[in-house]
Structure 1
Amino acid sequence: MSLARRRSQRATQISAAARTITQRAPVTLTLARHRAQPTAATIIRLTACAVFAYLIALPVPETSPPVLAPLTALLVLQVSIYQTLYSAVRRVAAVVTGVLIALGLSRWIGFTWWSLGLTITLGLAVGYALRLREAVLEVPISAMLILSVGSKAAATSRITETLIGTAAGLIAGLVLTAPQVEPAEEAIADLARTMADLLDQMAAGLNDGSIDDSARAWLDQARALGNEITRVDEALQRAEESTKLNPRSMRLPYSTVTLRQSLETLEHAAITVRVLARSLTDTTRLAGDDNSLNDPDVRRGLADTLRELSAAVRIYSSLATELDAHGHEVLKADLERHLAAARDEQDRLSELLATAPAVRPVGWPLRGELISHLGRLRSELEAGTPDQRPRPRRNRSWRPPRPSRQRVPPALRKLIR
């Protein structure tokens, strides 16, 4: 290859990379701003809560200077009211337990190295027995502080400031904590977008004939969807927990398709995409006429089916977050249209892949697998449409019932890999 030709190809690659970076730049900036907003909101919540606790504890004579009140408020306040309440209960129980242990030991022993060890051992034992979890260290800490001072006034001050800080954390949680629904909705959209992009890549590779070089990469991307599903599940758990005991959750709008049900549908679809990618990879290993993908008509028909399914996946993710009735009906009609088109393309592809029973080429089971996986992916999306689901009473996208998720058995996971 001549030097001029290599330079030309290099310039083309750099130009393509520059276009890709330019296209992704707005998305990257948007994600950066989105990630910065929760951090700034958390800083404001914690600062306001600590200052509020300090101002409440300032007039109390036993708490001067009231440093423990804002400290307790910072430790109590969590990302959800549900977590804040449990943290408050454990924190108060830990401090009161530690103070009682210190007052009991101070009557019999003084502050020495062996009494310090005894206090820590007893405090940790009681804390673990009460299942205080992350607040278990508060028991020996409170006991050591009170035992070193040996004053009932210090014990009273410790408990008072803890109660004030806990109350401030609870009030701040009720006032400042909002349901975290948008991150869960965005996680659902990202998962569907990733899955749809993979289907588009498969369709493009089938059209340009690069499937032999790309099939293995498609399989790796399909396997990576499991990590995305785990991330979405964690976001949904945070969203569901953020609505517990939250007064603002009563004002959240109603949605027909819940986020949890949508995740289950996309999870089943991701498994189907993985086994479909596996079948394509196995097919590329066949030679000659045994490889059905050597037929341009088969590749074209399979690509058309994948494109319709990709569009259906993108539309399906919007159904979970679309709250407008008219917009919901429009999306539903578009989903049905793409699924119907995928069914027609699949029927034509079935005719192309059909073989006589007497012939049975080497890769004939893979032909049936391709059709089966395409039909299963389409049926998963059809089963997830609103008309096919029971409409629960007062069920919202942010607060669904927690059904038992259908997991794939480990033995089956090994087979489809």
Structure 2
Amino acid sequence: MADVRATAPPNLRRHLRDPVVHLTVRATLAATLSYAAAVALHTSPAPLTAPLTALLVVQVTVYSTLTTSVRRVNSVVVGVLIAIAFSAVTGLSWWSLGLVILTSLIIGQFVRVGEFVNEVAISAMLVLGVSQLAAQAWDRVLETLIGAVVGLAFNLLFAPPVWVDTAGESIEDLARRARHLLLGIAEQLPRPTPVARAAARLHEARALDQAIAEVDAALRQAEDSLRLNPRISEGVLSRLVLRTGLDTLEICVVVIRVLARSLTDLAKRRGEDEELFPPDEALALGELLGHVGDALVSFSVLVTTQVSRNAEAAELRLAGELAAAHAVRDNVANLLLARVQRHPHAWQLHGALLAELDRVLDELDLEHRSRRLMEELDRETVARRDRLTVPHRLRRLLGG
């Protein structure tokens, strides 16, 4: 697969790296193998439960496959036990079927089967409705185990990719979109800006804020791919670096949205033919926005770059952008102060713009990031140590 990706055209390589493509191929192969294994073991004339289980449990990461396998097997076993208990007492009728479904759904909420709550009731109904209860119950449990074992073994023998690069690309894309927005805002500063145009920038900032959910989903997938992966030795550090980096970018994106809102309010106070700022202030503020945008991209490159791949160069670029931004920021502060002293009109909006840019620069500060990362590492170390204690294991066992 690696050789194919290396020699494939760029578009094909992008499709080969798509998690959906990996999941489709893996699920198909695992389901086929599980059906062949169930047929070889003569579990039933048509052992379709095995490939069905494989389809459900095979995920794009080893960790998610393992957890899904456990929940799936757990749900089937619980459903079979409920069916056996009811068959010995009530048999099959309309009221007993309803009672079985109700009982299965209630018990499924307490046995930690996750999204497979309905599978408890399905297994109970299928087993309850057959004439040879014991044989059918055993066949369904065995086929479920075959599908889960084949799906898990498939992902262990052919380990799924580590999706860190995909999450890193999502984080960098988010930073570049934020930079593009800041540059667009800078372009409208020295010219008359209708309220509709300023509101369009605010809408773009809100869309950028909403895109964080997609990046967070890609990052959660990357975090799962680092767990239980034999090819990764520093999974915790990589996960925390990406997570803290996304948290910082999320704060910056929220502040940028507030900045766009302040500019929209300022445009409402200006006339349709009046520029937002005079030329000297617009030039300095636009330069500051450009440096902030470049710093956001440099920060995203830093948090997504491996230590062995020019992380030091990325840190130097970020430090240079932050230094340039702080130098321009002082000039902007002096210009805005002089303007407010001459024309106090809308002084609070001018102060808000400066405060919002200060907040972004503070979040991107290297010392601030190092301190945040060390705090998260300490918190993770304490949490891992607590997970090894006997009281914690008892709480997990009891569902607490």
Q: Which amino acid aligns with 1:273?
A: I
Question: Is the alpha carbon distance of 1:272 and 1:357 closer, same or farther for their aligned partners in structure 2, counting shifts above 3 Å?
Answer: closer
* Number of the residue aligned with 1:39: 20
Q: Measure, in 1, the Cα distance between the counterparts of 2:12 and 2:105.
A: 43
* Number of the residue aligned with 2:315: 332
Structure 1 unaligned segments of length 5 or more: list them: 1-28, 403-417
* Number of the residue aligned with 2:162: 179
1:160 maps to 2:142: yes
Q: CA deviation at 1:372?
A: 2.6
Q: Measure, in 2, the Cα distance between the counterparts of 1:84 and 1:256.
A: 19
Q: Quick one: which of 111, 116, 119 aligns to 2:97?
A: 116
Q: CA deviation at 1:138?
A: 2.7
Q: Measure, in 1, the Cα distance between the counterparts of 2:176 and 2:146.
A: 47
- The 3-state SS of whatever aligns with 1:211 is coil
Q: Quick one: which of 231, 242, 261 aligns to 2:225?
A: 242
Q: CA deviation at 1:357?
A: 8.4
Q: CA deviation at 1:115?
A: 4.1
Identity of aligned residues (%): 39
Q: For residues 368-395 of structure 1, what are the alpha-carbon distances to aligned partners after superposition, in whole Å with 9 as ceiling and x for unaligned?
A: 3333333222222124676565558989
* Number of the residue aligned with 1:318: 301
Q: Which amino acid aligns with 1:194?
A: R
Q: Quick one: which of 29, 41, 50 aligns to 1:48?
A: 29
Q: Measure, in 1, the Cα distance between the counterparts of 2:95 and 2:348.
A: 76
Q: Which amino acid aligns with 2:268?
A: R
Q: Which amino acid aligns with 1:60?
A: L
- The 3-state SS of whatever aligns with 1:137 is helix
**How do 1:261-276 residues align onto structure 2 when only pairs under 5 Å count?**
261-276=244-259
Q: Measure, in 2, the Cα distance between the counterparts of 1:287 and 1:138.
A: 62
Q: Measure, in 2, the Cα distance between the counterparts of 1:312 and 1:34.
A: 30
RMSD over equivalenced CA pairs, Å? 3.4
Q: For residues 117-170 of structure 1, what are the alpha-carbon distances to aligned partners after superposition, in whole Å with 9 as ceiling and x for unaligned?
A: 444344334334434343233333333333333222222222221221121122
* Number of the residue aligned with 1:132: 113
Contact 2:240–2:376 at 8 Å: present in 1 too?
no
Select between 103-112 and 191-200 the one with higher mean Cα deviation.
103-112
Q: Quick one: which of 71, 84, 90 aligns to 2:52?
A: 71
Contact 2:69–2:148 at 8 Å: present in 1 too?
yes
Q: CA deviation at 1:339?
A: 1.8
Question: Is the alpha carbon distance of 1:357 and 1:212 closer, same or farther for their aligned partners in structure 2, counting shifts above 3 Å?
Answer: closer
Q: Measure, in 2, the Cα distance between the counterparts of 1:329 and 1:129.
A: 50
Q: Measure, in 1, the Cα distance between the counterparts of 2:121 and 2:349.
A: 65
Q: Which amino acid aligns with 1:320?
A: V
1:301 maps to 2:322: no
Question: Is the alpha carbon distance of 1:78 and 1:355 closer, same or farther for their aligned partners in structure 2, counting shifts above 3 Å?
Answer: same
* Number of the residue aligned with 1:379: 362
Q: Quick one: which of 74, 84, 92 aligns to 1:103?
A: 84
* Number of the residue aligned with 2:324: 341
Q: Which amino acid aligns with 1:164?
A: I
* Number of the residue aligned with 2:201: 218
**How do 1:345-384 residues align onto structure 2 when only pairs under 5 Å count?**
345-355=328-338, 359=342, 361-383=344-366
Question: Is the alpha carbon distance of 1:158 and 1:30 closer, same or farther for their aligned partners in structure 2, counting shifts above 3 Å?
Answer: same
**Which of structure 1's runs of 4+ aligned residues deviate more than 6 A?**
251-254, 392-395, 399-402
Q: Which amino acid aligns with 1:163?
A: L
Q: Measure, in 2, the Cα distance between the counterparts of 1:61 and 1:256.
A: 44
Find the structure with the greater CA-based Rg: 1
* Number of the residue aligned with 1:200: 183
Contact 2:192–2:275 at 8 Å: present in 1 too?
no
- The 3-state SS of whatever aligns with 1:66 is coil
Q: CA deviation at 1:336?
A: 1.9
Q: Quick one: which of 54, 74, 85 aligns to 2:66?
A: 85
Q: Which amino acid aligns with 1:171?
A: A
Q: Measure, in 1, the Cα distance between the counterparts of 2:302 and 2:206.
A: 25
Question: Is the alpha carbon distance of 1:357 and 1:389 closer, same or farther for their aligned partners in structure 2, counting shifts above 3 Å?
Answer: closer
Give me the TM-score of the superposition, normalised by structure 2: 0.79
Q: CA deviation at 1:401?
A: 10
Q: Measure, in 2, the Cα distance between the counterparts of 1:210 and 1:32.
A: 45
Q: Measure, in 2, the Cα distance between the counterparts of 1:125 and 1:243.
A: 34
Structure 2 unaligned segments of length 5 or more: list them: 1-9, 384-400
Q: CA deviation at 1:298?
A: 1.0
* Number of the residue aligned with 2:395: none
Q: Measure, in 2, the Cα distance between the counterparts of 1:387 and 1:80.
A: 29
Contact 1:292–1:298 at 8 Å: present in 2 too?
no
Contact 2:226–2:239 at 8 Å: present in 1 too?
no
Q: Measure, in 2, the Cα distance between the counterparts of 1:138 and 1:53.
A: 19
Question: Is the alpha carbon distance of 1:100 and 1:303 closer, same or farther for their aligned partners in structure 2, counting shifts above 3 Å?
Answer: closer
Q: CA deviation at 1:338?
A: 1.9
- How many residues are treated as equivalent by the alignment? 368
Q: Measure, in 2, the Cα distance between the counterparts of 1:157 and 1:354.
A: 79
Q: Which amino acid aligns with 1:280?
A: L
